[in-house]
């Protein structure tokens, strides 16, 4: 049987449609990533997480030592805390300590969107917890690509905390790593019109960042199981423990304090 040839005009039309489709995918790659992330979470949770460990409830305390000289306490969360019952979180109070703010993971590297970001972002706001978003930095991925991913996902509103860059990894070259970090911070500051915060642990900061002009940005230091941070730099947040327990959250969660009172915290937020 002789196969009929596809007319040239049809080939041109089909080729044009494919080009437009590829262009659309490229232009909307972050939105498509977000949609796929949402879909993945719904499928994953429905079929694989129904029998996971129940959320904590009726806890007598937070299960860790809480620094006493600070009045503003918060947590940072991601998909690893699973689906959080934010109503239970906000209701929990031990003595005078309660959760006042939460930093929520939004993105990582050049293409990863935390599958629970939308849920956590919306519900933290719903239950009047001061919220902020953070990006986990991958030093071997172009910093502009990473900044673009974050900006495509995070829409800050009045009362939201400044964006955070989570720096825990060192690339193959210290100089290029620091250059990329500075570029991400600059892009994000220009976008949101507020200084982003740098999160890192105290050893990484002292070894790689302390003398690299990163001190121009607010600092969030991870330093676990200590009574205080004994160093000569100014910090805004201190992540003091990674094993806290909170009603409404399954498993452990990071605990933080803010170096100031509630009004100081609110003054950091978007106006």
pLDDT in tens, 118-128: 999 999 999 99
Q: Please give the pLDDT value at position 14.
A: 66
pLDDT in tens, 78-98: 999 999 999 999 999 999 999
Q: Are residues 16 and 91 in the same domain?
A: no
Residue 20: which domain range?
8-45
Q: Are residues 165 and 35 in the same domain?
A: no
Closest alpha carbon to 222 in 240, 208, 207: 240
Q: Are residues 73 and 199 in the same domain?
A: yes
Q: Is 168 a catalytic residue?
A: yes
> Would 264 be classed as within a structural domain?
yes
The chain-wide mean pLDDT, for the chain, equals 87
Distance (Å, whole) CA 164 – CA 184: 10
Q: Please give the pLDDT value at position 48.
A: 42
* The one catalytic residue among 76, 108, 114, 160: 76
List of residues 6+ apart from 201 with CB closer than 8 A: 168, 221, 222, 223
Q: Are residues 32 and 126 in the same domain?
A: no
> Would 2 be classed as within a structural domain?
no
CATH number, domain of 165, equals 3.20.20.80
Q: Are residues 62 and 188 in the same domain?
A: yes
Q: Are residues 24 and 132 in the same domain?
A: no
If pLDDT is split at 50, 70 and 90, which confidence band does 213 have? confident
Q: Are residues 17 and 69 in the same domain?
A: no
Contact 104, 120 (CB under 8 A): yes
> Would 148 be classed as within a structural domain?
yes
Q: Is 254 a catalytic residue?
A: no
> Would 50 be classed as within a structural domain?
no
Q: Are residues 28 and 129 in the same domain?
A: no
* The one catalytic residue among 168, 173, 203, 227: 168
Q: Are residues 103 and 211 in the same domain?
A: yes
> Would 145 be classed as within a structural domain?
yes
Q: Are residues 36 and 127 in the same domain?
A: no
> Would 62 be classed as within a structural domain?
yes
* Burial class (CB within 10 angstroms; exposed 0-12, middle 13-18, buried 19+) of 219: buried
If pLDDT is split at 50, 70 and 90, which confidence band does 142 have? very high
Distances, alpha carbon 63 to alpha carbons 154, 247, 254, in Å: 32, 11, 12
Q: Are residues 63 and 41 in the same domain?
A: no
Q: Are residues 78 and 111 in the same domain?
A: yes
- How many domains does the structure of the chain reveal? 2
3-state SS assignment for residue 265: helix
């Amino acid at each position: 049987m002789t196969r009929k040839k596809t007319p040239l005009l049809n080939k041109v039309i089909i080729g044009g449609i494919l080009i437009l489709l590829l262009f659309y995918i490229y232009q909307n790659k972050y939105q498509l990533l977000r949609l796929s992330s949402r879909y993945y979470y719904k499928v994953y949770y429905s079929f694989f997480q129904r029998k996971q460990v129940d959320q904590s409830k009726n806890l007598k305390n937070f299960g860790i030592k809480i620094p006493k000289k600070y009045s503003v306490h918060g947590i940072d969360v991601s998909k690893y805390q699973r689906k959080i019952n934010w109503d239970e979180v906000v209701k929990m109070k031990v003595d005078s300590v309660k959760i006042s703010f939460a930093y929520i993971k939004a993105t990582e590297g050049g293409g990863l969107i935390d599958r629970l970001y939308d849920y956590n972002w919306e519900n933290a706001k719903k239950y009047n917890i001061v919220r902020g978003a953070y990006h986990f930095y991958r030093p071997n991925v172009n910093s502009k690509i990473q900044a673009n991913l974050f900006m495509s996902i995070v829409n800050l509103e009045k009362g939201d905390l400044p964006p955070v860059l989570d720096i825990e990894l060192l690339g193959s070259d210290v100089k290029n790593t620091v250059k990329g970090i500075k570029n991400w911070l600059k892009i994000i500051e220009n976008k949101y019109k507020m200084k982003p915060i740098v999160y890192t642990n105290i050893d990484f900061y002292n070894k790689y960042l302390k003398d690299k002009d990163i001190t121009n940005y607010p600092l969030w230091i991870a330093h676990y199981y200590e009574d205080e941070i004994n160093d000569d730099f100014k910090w805004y947040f201190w992540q003091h423990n990674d094993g806290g327990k909170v009603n409404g959250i399954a498993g452990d969660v990071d605990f933080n304090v803010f170096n100031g009172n509630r009004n100081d915290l609110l003054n950091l937020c978007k106006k």
